Amino acid sequence: MTPPNSLLDYKTVWDLALLYTSPEDPQIEKDVRDLERRYAGFEKKFRTAAFTKSAGALLKALQDYEKLADIAGGGKPLRYFWYRKELNGKDDTAEARIRLISERFTKAGNRITFFDLAIGKIPTTQQKKYLKDKRLAPYRYFLTRIFKTAKHDLSEPEEKLLALTSAPSGGMWVSGVDKAIAARTITWEGKEMPLNEALSAASHKETQSDRAEMWKLILEKIAEVAEFSESEINALYTKKKITDELRKLPEPYSATILGYENDEKSVRTLIDTVTAAFPVAHRFHALKKRLLNLDYLTYADRAAPLMLPEVKTEPFPFDRSYRLVREAFADAGEHYAAILDNFLVRGQIDVRPKAGKSGGAFCASAHRLPTYVLLNHTDDFNSTMTLAHEMGHAIHSEMCAKQPVFYDDYSTAVAETASTFFEGWAFEHIARTLPKEHRIKLLHDRLQDHVATVFRQIACFNFELELHRTVRKEGWVPKEKIAALMQKHMQAYLGPSVTVTPEDGFTFVNWSHIRNPFYVYSYAYGQLISSALLQLAHTDRKHVAKAAAFMEAGSTDTPENIFKKVGIDVTKPAFWKAGIKSIERDINELESLI
């Protein structure tokens, strides 16, 4: 595909007509009923069948199960209304339809809960035979996952109850806080600015006084939601405590690591290694204070831009960002650039911030459905890097879609590897196009991003772990104490050069990741692995193919095994230490330059 020639040649808003023509499209109800009918038919066929008694019987059942997943896996009606809600947090119609369709989908899914549970109950000796049976080879890793998690399964009625109560005990709480944040604005320079946009913009203001003023307005608005969020967090964390106890999971993070198909020991090694290396982040922030020529740094300054007299700050409007990222992707492979082009032509990227739209950025994909990317592009270099990052996710989704339905997705632990690889590749490509005097600024910006991705996310992991343990011990944690824990752990990674106030701690209200337990470790996991892949690619361009190999693998094996096949052993502490050493080398270079 040839690249579009101008902004007029592509769309900068989502085209949800790729799913349905409107909320009233009659096809929505037809699709929901079709899913319900197919699930009911599968239950009728296999509920009383002895499908686990022999390899042949299990093979036939798995083939039918695969056909069911192939049709129903995308959840198209639910996705459609969720996307509408992401574009407009005040869309109560979308919210209502999400709840109604979710309930129907959950009830339909509960009809086949028995299937995985029955497979999990296959005796160990028979499990081993099935895993060696050549007829079952296409389903080997799928079965391995079920066998591994089976010891934490509950009874069928308990599993159904947990599924049915998931929305009122979790999703509705989170949606309520998101809606409260999306509805708030601040007044800046005489104009109303959505709070989510302000949260993105504050750290990038050029002067410390502007950052402080905007941050003060933001914290005032966050405080309005804090009491509600206090109840939300305690409800979510108490629910998790109950569920973990029922499933006999030893640690608050055990369910996440098991679900992400990681080895718990290697993840703990990652957490401990990065935490012990927090002084590396302290060095960076001490350097940042010198570079900004400030007496102190505040929490709002942690991502402040580096303004150098000899470096003119240039805007990065979306048209420019797109062209730069496209050139970088084409350098890695024309097929990567073609994916970006296709997304823009088809309307699969929503670019600009607006009132009611969700903040931040994400990529969302599902089986046999279009992948959508949400941005809040603010015409700066960070927004350019965000485009590269989220398109890295999208490329990963497109490349593993060739796998069968059971494997055409990827572990969340692996997800951040593709995104940070393409972000790093784009960064280095764009850096080569800029004048040499920009070197200090670019090195600072890359370090700032890596410190946030590795050290900040692990600090958040540590915050989550202490908060979960506190809720389990004390029963209820007031908002002031939650904020104090956030303050403590953010201060731990930022170091003495940055002042984190008790008020800053209330940013737990808008940090969405802590509602998805321990998800944040995947950022550090992915960043350090992608850094290794980039280093290999610099040594020999043939190693770019290794990035393609792990993306095409989907979820055909554990993350550890997938990466081992491309020459990266993440089970050894030395690997994580080497990744941190690469950050230290960049800090040493920055110190030498200034």
* Domain assignments of the chain as residue spans, ordered by start: 22-164
Which residue matches tokens 């369910």? 255
Q: How far is CA 245 from the centre of its chain?
A: 26
Tell me the backbone φ, ψ of residue 317, rounded to 5 degrees: -60, 160
List the beta strands (DSSP E) in 285-391: 297-298, 349-350, 362-364, 372-374
339-398 tens-digit pLDDT = 999 999 999 999 999 888 988 899 999 999 999 999 999 998 889 999 999 999 999 999
The confidence band for 96, taking pLDDT boundaries of 50, 70 and 90, is very high
Instruction: State the average pLDDT over residues 558-585.
Output: 90
Identify the pLDDT of residue 176.
93
The residues, ordered by sequence, that sit 6+ positions from 308 with a Cβ below 8 Å of its Cβ are 437, 440, 441
Average pLDDT over the chain, rounded to whole?
Answer: 92
Q: State how far the Cα of 199 lies from the Cα of 300, in Å rounded to an integer.
A: 10
Query: What is the mean predicted confidence (pLDDT) over 468-490?
Result: 98
> 449 and 388 in contact (C-beta within 8 Å)?
no
Q: Quick one: pLDDT at residue 565? A: 87
pLDDT tens digits along 189-210:
999 998 988 998 898 888 999 9
What is the average per-residue pLDDT within 123-135?
97
Assigned CATH topology for domain 22-164: Butyryl-CoA Dehydrogenase, subunit A; domain 3 (1.20.140)
Instruction: Summarize pLDDT for 142-190 with one digit per residue, the tens.
Output: 999 999 999 999 999 999 999 989 988 898 999 899 989 989 999 999 9
Q: What is the pLDDT of residues 495-533, one digit of tens each?
A: 999 999 999 999 999 999 999 999 999 999 999 998 888
pLDDT at 3 over 80: no
pLDDT(4) > 70: no
8 A C-beta contact, residue 388 and residue 414 = no
For residue range 389-436, what is the model confidence (pLDDT) as tens digits? 999 999 999 999 999 999 999 998 888 899 999 999 999 888 887 776
> Whole-angstrom Cα distance, residue 86 to residue 90?
9
Residue 78 tokens, joined:
């639910």
Q: Residue 138: is its pLDDT beyond 80?
A: yes
Answer for the pair 559, 571: CB distance below 8 angstroms, yes or no.
no
Tell me, what's the pLDDT at 507? Answer: 97
Task: Give the residue-averaged pLDDT of 303-312.
Answer: 78
